[in-house]
Chains A and B, each alone.
Chain A
Amino acid sequence: MGKPIIEIAIFSMSILLLTCCVLIFSVEAADNGYIEAVKADVAEFTTSEFRPPTDSSWTGTVDNQSKTSGELLVELEDFSKFLQDKSPGSYIFYAKLPEDYKKRLHQEYLATGNLDNIKNNIFKYSRDIKKK
């Protein structure tokens, strides 16, 4: 009678311990690298020199920028290549669109940076043209 109770108690304790461990390891503080990068950035106002923290993932590059925002895709040609690379399926429809529609899509992308919307609009414009 006593042995099962002890086993149950040990089992319960193990579960409790495991839960505690999971909770402890799941606690995540804000990234210290972020704060270091922020401090290095603001220091430039006084020192006139930017000294980025070593191996910081918060001092991104312009290359990363162009991938996510389209901010640098100022030329229609660059935008077309970007679209072909990112969404070859949508590009097939895009390539068939008249030039003014392409320019409109390009402007929309520059404005919003939202590729999903652009893809939707490609199909929308394709449908509109077919109707005409």
Chain B
Amino acid sequence: MTPFRIPLILNRLSFIACSLLPCSSIAAVSHDLALPAEGTLPDANEVARQVYFANHFYAFKNFSIRRRGRTMTVLINHSKSGKETTTSLERHLNNNYNTDETSSVTSKDLAIFHSGKMKGTGMLVTEYNDDTKNKDYMIWLPSLRKIRRFSEPKHDDAWGGSAFTFGDVTLRKPEDETHVIIGKKQFRTCLGTINSLEGKHFRYSGQLPERSCRHINKEVYGLKSTTKFKYWWYDYRISYVDTKSFADYRTLYYKNDELIKVIDRDWGRVNNDQGGDPRALFWKYWYGLDLRTGQESWAVIPQKVVEYNSNRKNSFWTEKTLRKIKR
């Protein structure tokens, strides 16, 4: 690997990892954010904060999409020309730092890649309580057998030919946009998939899911979020947010009032041992379609690789684990 390629690969790695579990971002939303009081209608800002809470798995002490035998999480990128790339990986997110007030760390996030050019590579992202402090991105590069650090990526970076951006999956915070609720209605359609792969057997994930229609008729808020960034790639986006669980099933991105991108997320519920918190959810798949380029991305997380509130010690989320990764 040449030194010139390292920054590119780091960014690419970081993107792919973050598209499948959130790299924790500067936490404007606390881990103990309460649900809106029953019977009250939350305002738009509150809905945005609840969505952030669900998407960052704050309801869990730790959350993993691990490897089970040959089964793993897979990210499939499908270009308009039909070219397909695949990456498989495991991720482990640890939110179990808040209890210790002396700790400066908010969360840690570990990703290990198991296929393609990035096979054997690992990434550890550390988020700190201090909002002014940048996150640590540490990458284990197996070909160099060394750990390298790099800076936080930009919100609109989209690496790996994927339809998702860093902002979409992790970096965008509620305060980056102004929010308005445009209505409340039933969700009407199935979630998207890559048509040609639907229900087919696939490496790493086993059988790929069929389009998810199980959220049809669920009651959702329409949340319109207008970006505060100037000259941004979208003007506003509309999210369909479940009125009970705050799962955002779909987000539509608009530029000059034209629909330019769709992201769908299929959410599953965990058992009731989270104190009945309806936000204790996990992703089953993400689907993204960029209408400007025709590119599709599909991140599929097989049910059996999902693990939460495990007994892993905090020492698992250290450089030591990165160094142990086998190629």
Contacts and interface: CB of A to CB of B under 8 A. Distances in A.
A60 B217 CA distance: 10
A23 B80 CA distance: 12
B82 interface: yes
13 contacts: A29-B294, A30-B195, A35-B262, A35-B291, A38-B252, A41-B189, A42-B252, A46-B182, A50-B188, A69-B212, A112-B268, A114-B304, A117-B303
B296 interface: yes
Given A30-B192, A107-B272, 19 more contacts: A28-B196, A30-B289, A34-B289, A35-B262, A37-B188, A38-B262, A42-B238, A48-B183, A50-B188, A59-B188, A59-B190, A61-B216, A62-B216, A64-B213, A65-B217, A69-B212, A107-B271, A111-B270, A114-B304
B135 interface: no
B269 to A, nearest CB: 5
B78 to A, nearest CB: 8
Nearest to B290: A30
A interface residue count range (under 10 / 10 to 19 / 20 to 34 / 35 or more)? 35 or more
A53 B252 CA distance: 18
A104 to B, nearest CB: 9
Interface of A: 23, 26-31, 34-35, 37-42, 44-46, 48, 50, 52, 57-62, 64-65, 68-69, 71, 107-108, 110-114, 116-117
A58 B189 contact: yes
Nearest to B282: A112
A59 B82 contact: no
A39 B259 CA distance: 9
A113 to B, nearest CB: 6
Interface in B176-213: 182-183, 185-190, 192, 195-196, 210-213
A27 to B, nearest CB: 5
A30 B188 contact: no
A45 B294 contact: no
A131 to B, nearest CB: 23
Contacts of A39: 259
A75 B74 CA distance: 34
Contact of B183 (A37, A45, A59, A111): A45
Contacts of B195: 28, 30-31
B81 interface: yes
B217 A112 contact: no
A52 to B, nearest CB: 7
Contact of A45 (B80, B81, B222, B269): B222
B250 A68 contact: no
B133 to A, nearest CB: 37
Contacts of A44: 185, 188
Nearest to A52: B188
Contacts of A52: 188
A29 B303 contact: no
Interface in B232-259: 238, 250, 252, 259
